Amino acid sequence: MLLCTVGVAARLDMPPRRDDAGRRPTRRPEGSQGDRHLLSAVGYTVTVCTTSLPLVLTGWALVGFGVAMIGPQVYAAAGHLRGGRMLALVVTFGHAAFLSGRAILGWLVHSVGVQHAMLLPLVLAFACRVLALRGVA
């Protein structure tokens, strides 16, 4: 619940920005808000490294604040770059990842425990950052 609440608050906090054609494709981070994606990595690190409930909840709040803009930005970019077909493809892969990610994390939690299982999203958060810096995707 905390993750969802913080995620919604983060989306509503983003300032609108227009593209060259005057459209508002999505809300994008500007200024000091541009590094929110790093908060998800910090949040996952906190959840992996601590067992204190207040710190774990703080970590999950950071995750929610950091990943809140990923979905809307990916969908807007897909729709603007290649139109409806690309958007449909991205949404299909998003739903597949949503369903399979739960099964993979559940298997990892059963195998190695919840703290060690959170290393997978931590690694994936850093991989997204590296790919974003390289301009891939």
Phi, psi torsion values for 16, nearest 5 degrees: -70, 150
Q: pLDDT tens for residues 65-107? A: 888 877 777 788 888 888 889 999 999 998 998 899 999 999 9
- In the DSSP assignment, the letter for residue 52 is -
Domain boundaries of the chain, sorted by first residue: 2-17+31-134
Residue (of 13, 19, 78) closest to 39 by Cα position: 13
pLDDT at 70 (0 to 100)? 76
Q: How many angstroms separate the CA atoms of 116 and 51, rounded?
A: 12
Q: pLDDT tens for residues 12-65? A: 555 555 555 555 544 444 444 456 667 888 888 998 899 899 999 999 888 888
Calculate the dihedral angle through the C-alpha atoms of 85, 91, 93, 95, rounding to the nearest 10 degrees: -150
Residue 135 has pLDDT above 80, yes or no: no
Across the chain, mean pLDDT equals 77
Cβ within 8 Å of residue 115, ≥6 positions away: 47, 48, 51
pLDDT at 79 (0 to 100)? 86
pLDDT at 104 (0 to 100)? 94
pLDDT at 31 (0 to 100)? 40
Tell me, yes or no, if the pTM score tops 0.85. Answer: no
CB 37 within 8 A of CB 24: no
How many Cα atoms are found within 13 Å in the side-chain-facing hemisphere of 6?
Answer: 18
